[in-house]
Structure 1
Amino acid sequence: MSATRVATTGSGGKRHGDAGGQHRGDGLNDRGRSPHFFALSVQGAILGLFVVAARRGNVTAAVNAFGAFTFAVAPAILGIGFRLLVNRSLAQPPLLGIWLGIAGFLHSLVMLGRYESTWW
């Protein structure tokens, strides 16, 4: 048995909050993936880099990966804390966590060997 969703329309026939059909009201984009999926993927990749750095014995890269992971999950943790404290949701996709995670992932990846081989 499948449930059917009825879209609420306002003036112009568009759903409220619909930006040209790029984002559906159920938290998924057009390809069916949630922004949370991307955030978790980036966080998992950073943890993978942490494991690689720890197995290589590269303490600097391991600390860097741990810091990148901390920055990647900080917006989600702050959002949960805000929800518990104020009893309201921020209702924002985890874009800040994704951007911080990507930057931290790239930096940690390069810390595993590229910085030592660069002439500067």
Structure 2
Amino acid sequence: YPHVAEAVMQVCARVPTLEDALRLVSVLRGVKSLRAHTPALEDAYTILIRRFGTGEGTEKGFSFANLVASQSQGGCIDQGLYGALLRMCAVAQNKARVRELVCLLPFGDLGA
């Protein structure tokens, strides 16, 4: 498992375009063995958010999350992306803005 997580991090750090990043997300979401390792997925999403999210601070995470949701089957975010957003929110300065953004997230069934 550590080798898989490391490989995923490297791919996320090198994926060239937003379109490729979204394709990568759909692949990651489909790997059942990886879904069991939420921290690895959270790390992967954190890298992608930093690279492809728009806005400042936590807004980057929410912009990326909404983009992922709009491109995914079922139109919602998964456990790994949710975890990555929680990490970002934990260190956010503007808690009121974070609550506002969280309310807009398309959660769906996070257990799936």
Which bin holds the TM-score, normalised by the shorter protein? Answer: under 0.3
User: Which of structures 1 and 2 has the bigger CA Rg?
Assistant: 1
TM-score by length of 2: 0.27
